[in-house]
Structure 1
């Protein structure tokens, strides 16, 4: 048995109990489409619906979540792995008591962990599953290796798309690359589309329909539609103020739309084909498997 297989077995054995935490991975085919804004504001609205929410910023290159919160975290995931910090110590408190974890370099180095580090990480992640109802993973953008690894490891994915032709083609490219990856399991993954910066709700539905038809025809991937967020100048104003738009512009059209998205997710609960794969420990187990299969 090689080291990679040994580490995967360690996590699998430590991951026997069922977690109630729902893990939602938010991604996009390209940068600049509002992915992190969706993650942050969706977290706020789910919190207002009574959910305990934690965001993990898995974009170690840009760290957009901390910029949008206007908060610089003291610790990140690497401190949990290498410097003896526990899960509660690396959680930074954001607006309205939302938890926020910076991935830092810890995500890049997952496949290099030894047995002791894997056991410690799994134990701590198990605690996170107990203190959060919803865990939102904000990935990087595009089809980089790190983004694909997270999406492949996830059972519930939100793909953010705008009407820009490059956003649509890049979203398709992401799905096409996923479909070619042997580790991606379409049967166990729910992919929901969020259309952002659209002129109207109907335009959002039309955008989804166009993408869905092509994806179903050529990739045989079934997409679901979560909802639309309209073009709203208040969003860019909020970014400049380093505050979530649903916090400082609660009556804006974008805030009302993100609340509808949160309600849709909340009423939908865990999708059936994702229900076997609950919790952040399960996602990181899958992530380690993907990373070590290379």
Structure 2
């Protein structure tokens, strides 16, 4: 099969997923490391689980293993084992606290560019099962600007951008959005970008952080971004990280736990969020693989 036919096949699979049950896919990202992105992913997962949602975290930060470290669990398999070793999707899901599942991307993410039609079919057919196993799938990307991160964001219907009051964090967040805006397949109408102000000293500081970022993004990029909320600086959160336990489990009454609880509540009570669904995890990966293949063939 030639390359054009292979791309058409991916597009066809993407159209077919519209008839299947779909999970809500939320991609969590940041313009730089050290802003607490993975902590946000994990604690949002815990709080969504407390609200009765079935949650799976997909760890797409293949350079690090933050999710498994914070969960205190070592995955036996990763996405690469599904693609190359014939494992099924259930075999590569590691069970975390509160029955939250997580999947390690491992080397499988980097290998997507080399997949042939049969491997792509197998991958997407397995990922279709995630739409039945979870109500919400949280994708924790790598930090910073890379081709892989941008492809994840382009394929996403819903992006949570984690930033902090540090000037470099705000600048890097803007740079990430600038790179995303330049991507040929990025659509302002199809991707909702929501900002989380992390490690702030007060709600007012969080709002000011968002206002600064929104001012430059609106002026120069014309991308609509929304303020989801803030997470305060909290010594109890640092302690929980050292103990490899999510703060939302270790200390539910901590001020950061309450903040994560509020963020989860806002996420589940915004009626317009349904507009940004891109056909669940199946459609997400079909979109992503299509983008990677298109870029590869254009080179």
- Kindly state the Cα deviation for residue 2 of structure 1 after the two structures are TM-superposed: 1.6
Superposed CA deviations along residues 50-108 of structure 1, whole A, max 9, x for unmatched, are 00000000000001100110111001111111111111111100011101100011111
Identify if the C-alpha distance between structure 1 residues 270 and 138 changes in structure 2 by more than 3 Å, giving closer, same or farther.
Answer: farther
Alpha-carbon contact 2:17-2:279 (below 8 Å) kept: no
1:105-254 equivalence runs, <5 A: 105-254=107-256
Which of 90, 113, 116 in structure 1 is aligned with 2:92?
Answer: 90
Which residue is 1:28 aligned to? Answer: 30
Deviates more, 1:161-170 or 1:15-24: 15-24
Which residue is 1:79 aligned to? Answer: 81
- Kindly state the Cα deviation for residue 272 of structure 1 after the two structures are TM-superposed: 4.7
Alpha-carbon contact 2:14-2:287 (below 8 Å) kept: no
Alpha-carbon contact 1:22-1:270 (below 8 Å) kept: no
Identify if the C-alpha distance between structure 1 residues 255 and 148 changes in structure 2 by more than 3 Å, giving closer, same or farther.
Answer: same
Superposed CA deviations along residues 154-190 of structure 1, whole A, max 9, x for unmatched, are 1100000100011000000000111111121111110
Between the aligned partners of 2:209 and 2:162, the Cα distance in structure 1 is 11
Between the aligned partners of 2:28 and 2:203, the Cα distance in structure 1 is 21
- Kindly state the Cα deviation for residue 278 of structure 1 after the two structures are TM-superposed: 2.7
1:252-267 equivalence runs, <5 A: 252-267=254-269
SS in structure 2 of the partner of residue 188 of structure 1: coil
Identify if the C-alpha distance between structure 1 residues 172 and 81 changes in structure 2 by more than 3 Å, giving closer, same or farther.
Answer: same
- Kindly state the Cα deviation for residue 13 of structure 1 after the two structures are TM-superposed: 5.3
Q: Give the TM-score taking structure 1 as reference length.
A: 0.96
- Kindly state the Cα deviation for residue 270 of structure 1 after the two structures are TM-superposed: 5.8
Which residue is 1:67 aligned to? Answer: 69
Structure 2 runs not aligned, ≥5 long: none
- How many residues in Structure 1 have an aligned counterpart in Structure 2? 293
SS in structure 2 of the partner of residue 186 of structure 1: coil
Between the aligned partners of 2:50 and 2:274, the Cα distance in structure 1 is 25
Between the aligned partners of 1:24 and 1:9, the Cα distance in structure 2 is 22
Between the aligned partners of 2:111 and 2:190, the Cα distance in structure 1 is 26
Alpha-carbon contact 2:18-2:279 (below 8 Å) kept: no
Between the aligned partners of 2:108 and 2:16, the Cα distance in structure 1 is 20
